[in-house]
Structure 1
Amino acid sequence: MAHALHTRLWNRLRAAVLLVRGASSVIPAVPHLERQVLVQESTIHRAVKGVLRGV
């Protein structure tokens, strides 16, 4: 997704495309630990807000 945005919108972007990714780890089988490793909606929300504040 980041690559597609960067490629298509390069001339209109005010800031670099931010990569949001999960932890470099084995994905646990237990849901409460899985949430710590995989990207969550709140992680994306914080990243978007952070970029918008910096623009």
Structure 2
Amino acid sequence: MQENTLRITRLVAANSYLRARNGLVNKYSMFHERVSIHSISFYYFQSIPQSLQIVFCLF
């Protein structure tokens, strides 16, 4: 019985660790996407009307 409890605890710990790691990876890739979108939009910044530039700055 105790062995099963230990095994379950280990599984839960591993699961939460993986979930946390995946969360960090997702946050990083989202940040990376956002940065690349910013650098792309920066190049086209001059050709975009002023009202749309404000919308870009909000992101």
**Normalised by the size of structure 2, how large is the TM-score?**
0.31
The structure showing larger relative contact order (alpha-carbon pairs under 8 Å, at least 6 residues apart) is 1
**Normalised by the size of structure 1, how large is the TM-score?**
0.32
Higher alpha-carbon Rg: 2
